[in-house]
């Protein structure tokens, strides 16, 4: 039986008549890295805030860290909100220690851990720098460290990569993996697929206020056929008879999609044909492609729905 650090069931939230989140459920396995993906405005932030008990859902429930209500386990949670904010007059070390103290961490221990974290991340030169003198990305890294300095069991990060340069993005990925290896559960939202593809054990995709997919990165990528690029050695157009009808020639190479079970028969036909192989690549589409596929399907269904027609007529 799987232990879950987060169990959200049917979370729903209205803002006036607008349904921002529509019966979203999440189950985040203990000790995993779990991504909540979606376009801007899909409902990711509102879902996370309801999960943490920061705002109350209109429907649904949330249980954290063994079935507890969110408010009762706040000291065991680290949270980086979408809105960044630190006291500009504080030095980095003190800002981190202050955030730890809010979760019950001893002040002197917080200062010690702050220096250790920043040194390990290559930020030792700004340990005693005031926040107001830092770049936006550097200050964001300080706030991130402050959200985990008390060694929480659950870490929730809302768009943590937004605004970071590539070097700090790499530092953040390293930090996320290290916290997972320590035993923490990490739940983060993003609309940047590359980070999710590299980090996530499981993920959910939210679009138009509803959860549209849940599973592993490989399961998401498997929603689309593999993409093949084949270049015959003899360059003959006759090879087209061996390939799917939708195959297109670009230069010397043929491009087409193929399902998993068709790979071996295709290779057998090519081998027996005598056309030879000057080049062959078979690749599963990236998470980005799967994400776009899911969101476009949702958007197409929404645009075609009678309810949407009624909304547009009322707006006119």
Residues sharing a CB contact under 8 Å with residue 55, sequence separation 6 or more, in sequence order = 13, 46, 49
Q: Please give the average pLDDT of every successive group of 10 residues along the chain, which has 316 residues.
A: 87 95 96 95 94 95 91 93 87 96 95 95 92 90 94 96 90 94 96 92 95 95 92 88 90 90 88 90 91 92 57 40
| Structural tokens at position 80 | 């980086």
pLDDT at 2: 63
How far apart CA 43 and CA 104 sit, in angstroms, is: 31
What are the Cα distances from residue 213, in Å, to 36, 153, 184, 301, 313?
10, 26, 24, 15, 31
Phi, psi (degrees; rounded to nearest 5) at 238: -65, -20
The residues facing 59 across adjacent strands are: 12
The residues facing 4 across adjacent strands are: 29
Q: What is the pTM of this model?
A: 0.85
pLDDT at 305: 53
pLDDT at 1: 47
Residues sharing a CB contact under 8 Å with residue 87, sequence separation 6 or more, in sequence order = 95, 98, 131
Domains of the chain: 4-91+135-220 (3.40.50.300), 225-283 (3.30.70)
For tokens 């949270």, the residue is: 79
How far apart CA 199 and CA 186 sit, in angstroms, is: 10
How far apart CA 53 and CA 134 sit, in angstroms, is: 32
DSSP, residue by residue, the chain: ---EEEEEEEEEEEETTEEEEEEEEEEEETT-EEEEE--TTSSHHHHHHHHTTSS--SEEEEEETTTB-GGGGGGGEEEE-SS----TTSBHHHHHHHHHHTTT--HHHHHHHHHHHHHHTT-GGGTT-BGGGS-HHHHHHHHHHHHHTT--SEEEEESTTTT--HHHHHHHHHHHHHHHHHT-EEEEEES-HHHHHHH-SEEEEEETTEEEEEE-HHHHHTTS-EEEEEE-SS--GGGGGGS-TT-EEETTEEEEEE-GGGHHHHHHHHHHHT---SEEEEEPPPHHHHHHHHHHHHHHHHHTSHHHHHHHHHH-
Closest CA to 154 of 51, 58, 65: 65
């Amino acid at each position: 039986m799987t232990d879950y650090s987060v169990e959200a069931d049917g979370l729903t939230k209205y803002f006036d008549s607008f349904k921002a989140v529509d019966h979203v459920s999440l189950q985040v396995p203990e000790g995993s890295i779990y991504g909540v993906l979606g376009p801007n405005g899909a409902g990711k932030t509102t879902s996370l805030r309801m999960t943490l008990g920061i705002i109350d859902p209109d429907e649904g429930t949330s249980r954290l860290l063994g079935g507890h209500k969110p408010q009762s386990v706040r000291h065991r949670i680290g949270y980086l909100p979408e809105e960044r904010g630190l006291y500009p007059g504080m030095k980095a070390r003190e800002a981190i220690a202050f955030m730890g103290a809010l979760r019950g961490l001893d002040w002197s221990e917080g200062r010690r851990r702050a220096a250790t974290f920043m040194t390990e991340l290559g930020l030792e030169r700004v340990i005693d720098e005031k926040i107001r003198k830092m770049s936006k990305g550097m200050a964001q890294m300080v706030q991130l460290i402050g959200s985990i300095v008390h060694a929480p069991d659950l870490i929730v990060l809302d768009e943590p990569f937004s605004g970071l340069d590539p070097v700090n993005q790499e530092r953040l990925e390293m930090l996320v993996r290290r916290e997972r290896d320590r035993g923490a559960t990490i739940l983060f939202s993003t609309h940047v697929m590359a980070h999710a593809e590299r980090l996530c054990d499981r993920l959910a995709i939210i679009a138009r206020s509803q959860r549209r997919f849940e599973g592993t990165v490989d399961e998401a990528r498997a929603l689309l056929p593999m993409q093949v690029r084949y270049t015959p050695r003899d360059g003959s157009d006759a090879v087209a008879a061996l390939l799917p009808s939708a195959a297109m020639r670009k230069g010397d190479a043929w491009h087409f999609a193929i399902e998993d079970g068709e790979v071996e028969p295709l290779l057998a036909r090519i081998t027996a044909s005598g056309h030879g192989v000057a080049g062959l690549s078979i690749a599963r589409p990236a998470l980005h492609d799967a994400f776009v596929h899911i969101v476009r399907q949702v958007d197409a269904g929404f645009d075609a729905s009678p309810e949407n027609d009624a909304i547009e007529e009322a707006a006119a």
